Amino acid sequence: MIIAPSLLASNFARFGNEAARAHRSGAEWLHLDVMDGHFVPNISFGAEVVRAVRPYFKRELDVHLMCSRPEILLEPFTEAGSDSITIHVELGAQVTPLLWKIRSLGKRVGLAVNPPTNIAEVRPYLKKLDVVLIMTVNPGFGGQPFIHETLPKVQQLAAWRKELGLNYRIEVDGGINFETVKECARCGADTFVAGTSLFHRKNLGAAVRRMRKLAISAAA
């Protein structure tokens, strides 16, 4: 099980300190939500923030691009120190060349799917992926309520993974808290992005450990 606190819910005046706090918490990944004000109705931060936090979080930096033109961003984000890069299946014809490009840059390859998008859209790409990210809220903002109707997608991805003998991770993102983490883990998720429910806690380490423990016991 991987717990990935989302920097979107951290204190934006203190990115370095917040990344260091995430490191000390023992979280396996730090999730970075990149929003361009076009693919989603919000703007967050760019590659320079990845570069700034790189020295403070020493494990994997998980970059989620909610952007209309990721082709102009893959190199800057790689150069800034990202370990994995996730793009969205809603980009259509651009998806194949983008996945190929991320792979060629030597990064972990992720593909995300929004709540209204059918999971069948992801099926043709599965063999090329290290991570499939199921959006469990509509992307753009932290702190939204979990959409339960997305859970069958998690189950379908787990079934395909078994059927096809693949080993991509199943990551859930949005509205993950100490209750919804259990539902997701029961359906087959193994990687949990959580912003509000982790970063807003005083003791981040305890919150990460609690979330990991709940995921492990729900999956057992």
- Under a CB-based contact definition with an 8 Å cutoff, are residues 196 and 204 in contact? no
Of the pair 174, 188, the CB lying nearest ligand DX5 is at 174
- Is 33 tagged catalytic? yes
Q: Does 64 bind ligand DX5 (CB under 6 A)?
A: yes
Sheet with 131-135: list strands edge to edge.
2-5, 191-194, 169-173, 131-135, 108-113, 84-88, 60-66, 29-35
Residue 111 binding result from Zn ion, ligand DX5, none, given CB thresholds of 5 to 8 Å by partner type: none
**Cβ partners under 8 Å of residue 107, min gap 6:** 78, 82, 83, 84, 85
User: Following CA atoms 198, 190, 79, 137 in sequence, which dihedral angle do they give, to the nearest 10 degrees?
Assistant: -60
- Is 36 tagged catalytic? no
> For residue 2, what are the β-bridge partners?
191
What character string, x for contact with ligand DX5 (CB under 6 A) and - otherwise, covers 112-131?
A: --------------------
Of the pair 102, 176, the CB lying nearest ligand DX5 is at 176
Q: Can you tell me which of 33, 62, 171, 190 binds Zn ion, judged by CB under 5 A?
A: 33
Residue 142 binding result from Zn ion, ligand DX5, none, given CB thresholds of 5 to 8 Å by partner type: ligand DX5
Outline where DSSP puts E strands in 36-173: 60-66, 84-88, 108-113, 131-135, 169-173
Q: Does 110 bind ligand DX5 (CB under 6 A)?
A: no
Catalytic residue numbers read 33, 173
Q: Which residues lie near Zn ion (CB under 5 A)? A: 33, 64, 173
Interface ranges with ligand DX5 (CB under 6 A)? 6, 8-9, 31, 33, 64, 137, 139-140, 142-144, 173-176, 193-197
